[in-house]
Structure 1
Amino acid sequence: MTANKVTVGLVYGGKSGEHDISLQTGFAVMNAFDYEKYAIVPFYITLRGEWRMGEALTAPMGSVDEMKLEQASGGTAEAAGAMFAALSGKDSGIDVMFPLLHGTFGEDGTVQGLFEMAGLPYVGAGVLSSSAGMDKDVMKKLFAAAGLEQGEYIAFGVHDWKVNQSELVQQAESKLGYPCFVKPANLGSSVGISKAADQAALIEAVEFALRYDRKVLVESFIDGRELEIGVLGNDEPEASIPGEIVSSGDYYDYNAKYIDGKSEMMIPAPVDADLAESLRTLAIQAFKAVEGSGLCRADFFVRRSDNKILINEVNTMPGFTPFSMYPLLWRETGVSYQELLDRLIELALERHEARTQLQYGR
């Protein structure tokens, strides 16, 4: 605690293909905090995985480039020392960590495990939920166990592909047909995703996806609307109103999300009250299926032929700029961007307090 303010360790960047997106998110969040209530300690992780720690801020930085902390005196050792200070009886001054890391080494449970070991409260999903939410194959298995309906898919690793390529291609063709979608199992922001219309394209798409991960998913094509729900809470999560993505491309890929600027977010989504309520109920079920905490965005397909709802995935650290779907969903539900940040900090502290009451050993 710094001068009656809550000190937040803001972690961004990361050893991930979504590094630049994380920087944009970190910059937006840093500029949105109420500096009368919070002091912000920036932690930047480079693409090589090195940490840089800045001094506590009482005002936001002026540019994304400043976020890289080129002149920071604190490196990886100092950052680790600050985070683990409490275990040696020292006061690091950090009250709660706020990871704004997308993708591997940040959204997959790794940095959450670091915070757990350091005994620090942190915003968002725990180790298990983060890991399950990153691995789309594991996530889908949890959805199935929870009785959530979803599209058909197959998953396999790089070794299986090398030794059983023909069999896997046949399995995809017989179970899923064309067109189908191929994606890395452990990546976000639609990186590495391809749409395959025939066997040659399928093989090329798998090879492309394996550049990003050692496990690949091939999913059936679903002719449906793409609707998303924000979930907020711990033991008693709440769901936002639904939003709809209308992609500028053939599907909602990286280019449609971040580059061409032509995709449309419709908030609230033009759906009837019954469908909206069903989506909200299923979003909370999906959140609980992966043992979520803090926040997530649940993504659904609503099949055009019969209006059937199919869960696609959950994102345990969704895009968080003021123009991202998750904050916009909550803004239209009645929770402002600043209020959302306050609530996430409260949820992190609440969850940590509950965990400190657990007994370890006899």
Structure 2
Amino acid sequence: MKKKIAILFGGQSTEHEVSRVSASSVLRNINRDKFEVRAIGITKDGKWFEYKGEIDNIEKGSWESDDNNKINNGQNILFNKEVEAVFPVLHGLYGEDGTIQGLCKLLEIPFVGPGVLSSALCMDKVYTKYVLENFGVKQADYVVVHRDKYKKNKEKLLDVIENKLNYDLFIKPSNSGSSVGITKAHNREELEMGLEKALKYDRKILVEKSINAREVEVAVLGNESPLAAVPGEIVPAKEFYDYEAKYENEASKLLIPANLTKEEQEYIKNLAVNIYKMLDCEGLSRVDFLIDKDTNEVYLNEINTIPGFTKISMYPKLWESSGKCYKELIDELIELAINRENR
């Protein structure tokens, strides 16, 4: 008997388009001999539809106008428990932040990826820092900016940031992914502009001290006994790995494996698994690090609980280089979800 699986795509976040591409890749590679698949699209305004048309239309975004293959029963598939597991290929808010995970928990349907608490914690960059500080994990120095305080006394907050952190600085919405809303500031004018931009995406902003660093990412997989794949390194086409550098600029490079000694690889893999456990992650996550080019110190950058699954995404590429092909990876993620629920 084939297991009935729902693949969720789209969503209401700024990463809607990336989600469609990731989900299209999953839909093309999932084992149809093993799984009966229901594709459920969520529009930017929150409407759910089952989609039975061509996968290419999902990737291009034209699925929404394909009324002949779009059925207004997307939510009912979950509420009526017509599937045995859910694979939420939903990056960002309302997909990666514990909301979909909470819905699946209420409906008692297994789902791929970490649970409610870890999803919410990892989505919020500020609270990730708060929690991991207590475990002694090295992170870049930072200041948290709240919208209401910024609006009331902008100049004072700018002074506080400049006094605590020297330029250059990164400005990040606390709840955002795919580098959406992130800027780099080299002076006060750029800092103010970056805060104004980030505040369009979130009411809570993280300002971090920039580190002259290499970017290394580790794919982690598993429940109680997680394993890490070979680390990979990003060489961005621009000054930093923003949205355009990730998805549109072909000059950005992924080095797999990362240019590390065997000892350094093992150290960073073990660190990734430990951080995964500290945040109570299960299923999968990609743990991203910064390695200081001057001191070789390793700093946590962030954790992504639903990392990209596009054809150029690091997570599946790292596992492929570690001997686990894309189709096998999808199989294992679904099995991990079902095993966790049975547990």
Residue in 1 that maps onto 2:309: 320
Residue in 2 that maps onto 1:43: 40
Q: 1:23 to 1:174 in 2, by over 3 A?
A: same
Residue in 1 that maps onto 2:211: 222
The answer to whether residue 242 in structure 2 is matched with residue 253 in structure 1 is: yes
Q: Secondary structure at the match of 1:44?
A: strand
Residue in 2 that maps onto 1:297: 286
Q: CA deviation at 1:84?
A: 1.9
Instruction: Name the CA distance, whole Å, in 2 between partners of 1:155 and 1:350.
Output: 38
Residue in 1 that maps onto 2:17: 20
Q: CA deviation at 1:166?
A: 2.2
Matching residue within 99, 113, 117 for 1:110: 99
Q: 1:32 to 1:123 in 2, by over 3 A?
A: same
Instruction: Name the CA distance, whole Å, in 2 between partners of 1:67 and 1:98.
Output: 19
Q: CA deviation at 1:72?
A: 4.3
Q: RMSD of the alignment, in Å? A: 1.4
Q: CA deviation at 1:66?
A: 6.0
Instruction: Name the CA distance, whole Å, in 1 between partners of 2:158 and 2:71.
Output: 50
Q: Secondary structure at the match of 2:267?
A: helix
Deviations 1:119-148 (A, max 9, x none): 101000111111111100001111111221
Residue in 1 that maps onto 2:158: 169
The answer to whether residue 276 in structure 2 is matched with residue 281 in structure 1 is: no
**Which amino acid is 1:143 matched to?**
L
Instruction: Name the CA distance, whole Å, in 2 between partners of 1:237 and 1:164.
Output: 46
Q: Secondary structure at the match of 2:310?
A: coil
Alpha carbons 1:230, 1:296 under 8 Å: kept: yes
Alpha carbons 1:190, 1:254 under 8 Å: kept: yes
Greater displacement, 314-323 / 13-22 = 314-323
Q: CA deviation at 1:67?
A: 4.5
Matching residue within 55, 58, 61 for 1:61: 55
Runs of 4+ in 1 over 4 A off after TM superposition: none
Q: Secondary structure at the match of 1:71?
A: helix
Residue in 1 that maps onto 2:124: 135
The answer to whether residue 76 in structure 2 is matched with residue 81 in structure 1 is: yes
Instruction: Name the CA distance, whole Å, in 2 between partners of 1:95 and 1:286.
Output: 30
Q: CA deviation at 1:179?
A: 1.0
Share of identical aligned residues, percent? 39
Residue in 1 that maps onto 2:169: 180
**Which amino acid is 1:223 matched to?**
N
Alpha carbons 2:114, 2:305 under 8 Å: kept: yes
Q: Secondary structure at the match of 2:5?
A: strand
Q: Secondary structure at the match of 2:45?
A: coil
**Normalised TM-score (structure 1):** 0.91
Q: CA deviation at 1:353?
A: 0.9
Residue in 2 that maps onto 1:209: 198
Q: Count how many residue pairs are aligned between Structure 1 and Structure 2.
A: 340
Instruction: Name the CA distance, whole Å, in 2 between partners of 1:193 and 1:138.
Output: 17
**Which amino acid is 1:48 matched to?**
D
Greater displacement, 167-176 / 204-213 = 167-176
Residue in 2 that maps onto 1:358: none
Alpha carbons 1:322, 1:337 under 8 Å: kept: no
What pairs up with 1:228-247 in 2 under 5 angstroms? 228-247=217-236
Q: CA deviation at 1:83?
A: 1.2
Q: CA deviation at 1:238?
A: 0.4
Q: 1:73 to 1:302 in 2, by over 3 A?
A: closer
Q: 1:239 to 1:67 in 2, by over 3 A?
A: farther
**Normalised TM-score (structure 2):** 0.96
Q: 1:62 to 1:207 in 2, by over 3 A?
A: closer
The answer to whether residue 331 in structure 2 is matched with residue 342 in structure 1 is: yes
